[in-house]
Amino acid sequence: MNTLSDTRVNELFSEFFGSQPQALVKAPGRVNLIGEHTDYNGGFVLPVAINYHTYIALRPRADRNLRLVAWNFANAEALVPLTEEQIPDLQHGWSNYVRGVVQQLRRAGFQLAGGDLYIAGDLPAGAGLSSSASLEMAVIRALLALSGETIDPTQAALLGQAAENQFVGCNCGIMDQLISACGQARSALLIDCQDLSTRAVTMPDDWEMLIVHSGIKRGLVGSEYNQRRQQCEQAATHFGHTSLRALDLTRLLAAEGTLDDLSFRRARHVLTENARTLAAAAALASGDLRTLVRAMAESHASMRDDFNITTPAIDYLVQLIADAGAGRAGVRMTGGGFGGCVIALAPAVVIPQLMQAVTNRYEQETGFKPTLIPAKASAGAFNQ
């Protein structure tokens, strides 16, 4: 699956600019094992940085501009002046992630220097594997490499999130940027999104991850995502809280019928998902496959029935993999929802039968073409 490497991106830079780059940086995408739509509710998430990246090869320039070249868009180019006031580029939408990050870094007081940036990624776009967060983290690393400054990884994640919220217009939480910045090889990261503390959870050596792209691009994600966020805020407000993290599950369940059904179900998903995420992290740490399989299955059912973010084809894919694993594969939809990917976690010996089932049945049954993406837990952008 990996189409790129450090060497290949250095070569691509040289072919384009006619000389060697001065440095190469990269930031990984992510897959979330469990803890969905909990980050913006101050809850728990358990993502993994994966071995698919956005790479940037770079060299300094004498002026105060960034010249960007995007390999994923047939070497399309954009020029970004290093000023605080950035203007969105409607023609090169991808460059807005860079513009947003430049704006945030400048506002935070960083002195930036000009450079030529060759940007290339092997994360499938629109798959829900955080290609945008990885681009933001790679850009921050590239710009600091040019200016010789350093940054705290958590601050880098917060600036990336602010760029996406304020400049690109997606109201995302902190999970994607934080795991792209702080991920660790062979581990998942349990993040408490209330105080942004993290704990690495090492995966058993003989377990492997299989990501399956459902073939469904996440069309509705922007509007539906922002709507879910509002519904959660509304539910918290009903109980006099600013965040659902402050709400106790017993209190919510006792209040059923006193708030509208939609708010009740949204809140029930978030609170039960927090509990499942903590249980799954403990199960991963101790190699307790049975608990992990159950937590992932319940998470998927909750996303389907309470949060309403799955699709029939994705539900079918999850069931197909669960059946093929015969109780030995944890599986659920991962990411914002309405398409994108499914994550399966199982002992390595079980993975081939999961792949076989998807290849034999999924397209025939749903009409969508699946992509199998074997993945390994990798180091974050600031951990390499």
How many residues comprise the chain? 384
Cα separation of 226 and 323, whole Å? Answer: 33
- 29 sits near ligand GLA (criterion: CB under 6 A): no
Element spanning 305, H or E? helix 289-305
Q: Are 176 and 123 in contact (CB under 8 A)?
A: no
Q: Structure tokens of 183?
A: 């991920």
Q: Which of 4, 29, 37, 293 binds ligand GLA (CB under 6 A)?
A: 37
In the complex with ligand GLA, which residue's Cβ is closer, 32 or 96?
A: 32
Asked if 40 touches ligand GLA (CB under 6 A), the answer is yes
With contacts defined by CB under 6 A, name the span among 32-40, 61-69, 89-97, 149-157 that binds ligand GLA: 32-40
Binding residues for ligand GLA, total number by CB under 6 A: 11
CA–CA separation, 219 vs 340, rounded Å?
Answer: 9
Residue 28 near ligand GLA by CB under 6 A: no
Does 248 participate in catalysis according to the annotation? no
Q: Which residues of 281-308 are buried (b: 16+ CB within 10 A; e: fewer)?
A: bebbbeebbebbbbbbbbbbbbbbebbe
- 39 contacts ligand GLA (rule: CB under 6 A): yes
Residue ranges of E strands in the chain: 23-32, 44-45, 47-60, 65-70, 76-81, 115-121, 187-192, 197-202, 207-213, 330-334, 341-347, 371-375
Which listed residue (33, 36, 104, 183) binds ligand GLA by CB under 6 A? 36
Q: Is residue 123 within the footprint of ligand GLA (CB under 6 A)?
A: no
In whole angstroms, give the CA distance from residue 264 to residue 138: 39
Cβ proximity to ligand GLA, 161 vs 366, nearer residue: 161
> Which residue among the candidates 152, 176, 260, 305 is catalytic per the annotation?
176
- Binding ligand GLA (rule: CB under 6 A), the pick from 116, 176, 208, 233 is 176
Stretch that binds ligand GLA, among 37-45, 241-249, 311-319, 321-329 (CB under 6 A): 37-45
Backbone angles phi, psi at 338, to 5 degrees: 60, 35
Q: Which range of residues in 52-60, 148-156, 167-175, 256-264 is near ligand GLA by CB under 6 A?
A: 167-175
Establish if 175 lies at the interface with ligand GLA (CB under 6 A): yes
Largest CA distance in the chain: 68
Check binding of 172 to ligand GLA (CB under 6 A).
yes
- Asked if 43 touches ligand GLA (CB under 6 A), the answer is no
Chain positions contacting ligand GLA, by CB under 6 A: 32, 36-37, 39-40, 172-173, 175-176, 335-336
Which residues are part of the catalytic machinery? 176
